[in-house]
Amino acid sequence: MASPSTAKILEVSHVAPFTASPESPTHFILPLTFFDILWFKVSPVERVFFYSLPETKDSFLSSVLPKLKHTLSLTLQYFLPLAGKLTWPQDSQKPVVLYTPGDVVSVSVAESNAEFDLLASNHAFQASMVRPLVSPLHVTETGASVIALQITVFPHYGFSIGLTTHHAVLDGKSMTMFMKSWAYLSKENPPLLPELTPFYDRTAIIEPYGFDTIRFLNNWLGNPGLTPSDCRNNPKLFEFIQFQSQDEPSHLYRATFELGRSDIDKLRQLVSSNWDKTHISPKPKLHLSSFVLTFAYVFDCILKATEGDESKKKVFLGFTADYRNRLTPPVSDNYFGSCVGFKMTYDNMRGHFFGSEEDSLTAVAVKISGLVNELGNQNDVLKEAEYLLSNMGSIVSEKSHGVGVAGSPRFGVYNIDFGWGRPKKVSVISIENGSISMAESRDGDGGVEVGLVLKKQQMDLFASAFATGLSNILSIV
């Protein structure tokens, strides 16, 4: 039997899109847009959905697993790019996602005797314990798979679905649409509902003036100025750039913290009150959404928990933003692909406060609010990306630490029900690089849950700062 921190692979299956006739599906080519290229070499996003189900191993393998595979095949007929490959044909001016009949999605089936209730809880545990629940993408010198799935059974407790996705092909919203479609077809017959049917028209994305795919990819590769042929034939083109934590993996712990609707309302009142008392002029109007307030509060607690850590002397923050409704004209909410830009600070947020220590939360909220208000159009996205690439060396250093955000409270991941109930837990695994994850609270009260990974002592300090801060706010507001 596998140890608690491993998963025993039982089989590796290959699931093809359902075909109604021998003539279909046909070849499918999905050109990349500049949004996709921005994320071309960023590490894959890994998520795990935990579902409670008191089935034996044999019962799960004989009844639940076949249904999941069958409905996955039905779903893939609508999501052909997921079965395809990210590649760069010789006759193409830029990389594409190419599906050809016979392409499949790899599905690993595993068994784990790890403590299901712990992994699906908010409690702190070693981050390495969930790593075996996801499978890597297949990457070669000529291309990369788009998605890899792993279904892991925890006998008598439940199962998990681990999802690894290529960030240059689909963003969090597209990933969620796929999972919701798979869950829908597990309970209903085709066709998909219109709101779950992906929109593939790439002409809806207008490329910013001056964007050069080859130049941008060469900058990713660290070889600016090379020819398209040099770029296409670079053996490391499809490899990912790893932004790994400098901490030893065995020292890292994962935990989840929640802010209820009332907690967020209290934070809003406190930040607004503190902001009104400042003498800054002119005084911009703050954007105090649940996202801004949650990120600000968690980031402030992270600063407190990592104070004195030599590897985190410089701390930056950033986040991604969905641009489907920000483009002119806007694109469909069902647009499939990567349609997110990002904003980040380039100044050290540690000590970036306009008043006393008690004002640190307000200062961080003001900073994040300003970044949200600066979100513009596709041209602004390109400027931000090019600035980041040109300053990557100075930003990524041994004493710098970036805190980003994966996921969103708007995705509705806790509504993804395959017929055995809603997820007990949804975790973003790929946040060991310092990012946090966000999702809506499972109980549906309008709150937000946040996942993060820190060293054990820092996690304890974070938990104390998180609880103490909320207690103090309740006494003030």
Predicted confidence (pLDDT) per residue in 182-215, tens digit? 999 999 999 999 999 999 999 999 888 878 888 8
- Rounded CA gap, 58 and 147, in Å? 27
Percent of the chain with pLDDT over 90: 71
Tokens of 142: 């000529």
Tokens of 343: 């904003």
Question: Is 309 noted as a catalytic residue in this protein?
Answer: no
Q: Give the H/E segment covering residue 29.
A: strand 28-31
What pLDDT was estimated at residue 1? 36
Q: 6-35: per-residue pLDDT in tens?
A: 799 999 999 999 987 666 657 899 999 999
For residue 12, give the amino acid letter: V
For residue 382, give the amino acid letter: L
Average pLDDT on 323-327 reads 93
- Rounded CA gap, 72 and 85, in Å? 18
For residue 365, give the amino acid letter: A
Q: Tell me the domains of the chain and their CATH numbers.
A: 8-232 (3.30.559.10), 249-476 (3.30.559.10)
Contact 452, 297 (CB under 8 A): no
- Rounded CA gap, 261 and 441, in Å? 9
Least confident of 94-103, 229-238, 246-255: 246-255
For residue 451, give the amino acid letter: G
Q: How many helices (H) and strands (E) does the chain have?
A: 14, 19
Question: Is 70 noted as a catalytic residue in this protein?
Answer: no
Beta-strand pair 436-440/405-407: parallel
Count CA within 13 A, CB hemisphere, residue 39.
24
Contact 107, 72 (CB under 8 A): yes
For residue 375, give the amino acid letter: L
Q: Single out the catalytic residue among 167, 171, 247, 263.
A: 167
SS3 state at 322: strand
For residue 344, give the amino acid letter: M
- Of 203, 372, 213, 194, nearest to 293 by C-alpha is 372
Average pLDDT on 280-289 reads 87
Average pLDDT on 381-390 reads 81
- Cβ neighbors of 375 (< 8 A, separation 6 or more) are 321, 326, 341, 343
- Cβ neighbors of 214 (< 8 A, separation 6 or more) are 94, 226, 227, 228, 231
Count CA within 13 A, CB hemisphere, residue 465.
20
Report how far apart, in Å, the C-alpha atoms of 146 and of each of 18, 165, 173, 227, 278 are.
18, 6, 15, 26, 49
pTM: 0.95
SS3 state at 177: helix
- Of 440, 234, 275, 456, nearest to 365 by C-alpha is 275
Q: Single out the catalytic residue among 117, 265, 417, 460.
A: 417
- Rounded CA gap, 416 and 402, in Å? 30
Q: 93-144: per-residue pLDDT in tens?
A: 899 999 999 999 999 999 999 999 999 999 999 999 999 999 999 999 999 9
SS3 state at 6: coil
Q: How many residues does the chain have?
A: 477
Average pLDDT on 277-297 reads 90
